[in-house]
Structure 1
Amino acid sequence: MPGLEGLYLKWNVVESLQSLRLAPQLRYLYLGASSRVESLEHVASLKELEWFQVESPSKAFEIEALGKMARLVGLGLTGSESKKLELQSFAPLSELRGLKWLHLGAVHVRDASLVPLAQLTSLEWLGVGNYFSVEEFARLSAHLPGVICDWLSPYVRYHRSMFPCRTCGVNWRVGTPGKGSKLLCPTCDTQKLAESIVRFNEAKSAAIRGAI
């Protein structure tokens, strides 16, 4: 199928992507849950690919090959926390300067660093788990000020129907960035929330000063 431009495989047991060489015009590729792919080298050979997403792979893989995919505007490595994908680093992604949408779902990295993502200056939306320090999120927010991401701000305010505060019964709790952080009620946890906001803003200001 040399003219194929889109391929969506929801439930699959794909182990090798070697056959993708037969679809050189592929622009959109989605691999759903249960895929057993261990190497992305054949994906990297698709020069026209613009959007690539993998959901809950059953085997871990490395992402070095993704750094070669210069045309990508959308990339998703998603899944549930019960099927987290652990990588060494986000470093290979720093080469994808054309990315506008990046969903890292339940991805954990051993070096615990978001620094490589600061190079993605075309990014518009970022989905990443709250698995990093407050300082990591704050520094990234300084480099990517226009990106939509829950954790690149001092706190995230959800709809009032979510996380109601059972203590005051009036307000509802907000999310705060940083691994191990808790939901806080602006009314009942005023001091803790203020301290969290100050910590985030100080780290962000330090990152901005360091970039000047």
Structure 2
Amino acid sequence: METTPGAGTPEPKRTVDVASLKALAHPLRVQILDTISRLGPQTSGTLAEILGESTGATSYHLRQLARHDFLREVEGRGSGRERWWDRPKGSLQIVTRELADNPATSEAAHLVSREFEHHRAAALADFMEHGWLEEPSEWSDSAMVSTSNVRLTAAQLAEVSAKLEAYAAELLAPYRGQGAAEGVRPVQIHINAFPLAVGRPAAAAPRTSSEEKP
């Protein structure tokens, strides 16, 4: 599973190690990382307001994420009492097959993967429920929710996935780093490519709580 804050030029790809994965494996930490990925730099106060948490909780988890290089302090912005945090440039390979199969990290890998997918599904569900009819027409008419079905071999799927990833990076590069500007809003783009569940029931939607321990 990969998540990318983005930049205008090719950026390094970091594969998360065992210690970092275990540090990330807390629902609120995943939520903080996902929120900053979506909305850009935040403080403990702005995150507390967005997520409905206390500033003490968000401040603590921000520091833990920074210890493992998931976040960095924004230089020259804020003060000692109001520190701004952002994602480092580049993409994160958060969950690999090796980490998922390792008994020492499998629980953490599944929690992190489940939390990210829950947030992504919730964002899409919210748009499907409200976006088409309630957003201004210039935004709803510009959106696209599309599904394509095709039969592929594993090698062909790998080729399609790689080309989609490369094309998305090239297409979005000119818009990275726009920050807060008039007319600019957070936009989330999903490109999914995966084999369908044939012969087995689909998994139920996960339900987790920020009280869950890593």
Bin for the TM-score computed over the shorter chain: under 0.3
The two structures have a TM-score, normalised by structure 2, of: 0.23
The two structures have a TM-score, normalised by structure 1, of: 0.23
- Specify which structure has the bigger relative contact order, considering alpha-carbon pairs within 8 angstroms and separated by 6 or more residues: 2
Higher Cα Rg: structure 1 or 2?
Answer: 1
The structure that is helix-richer by fraction is 2
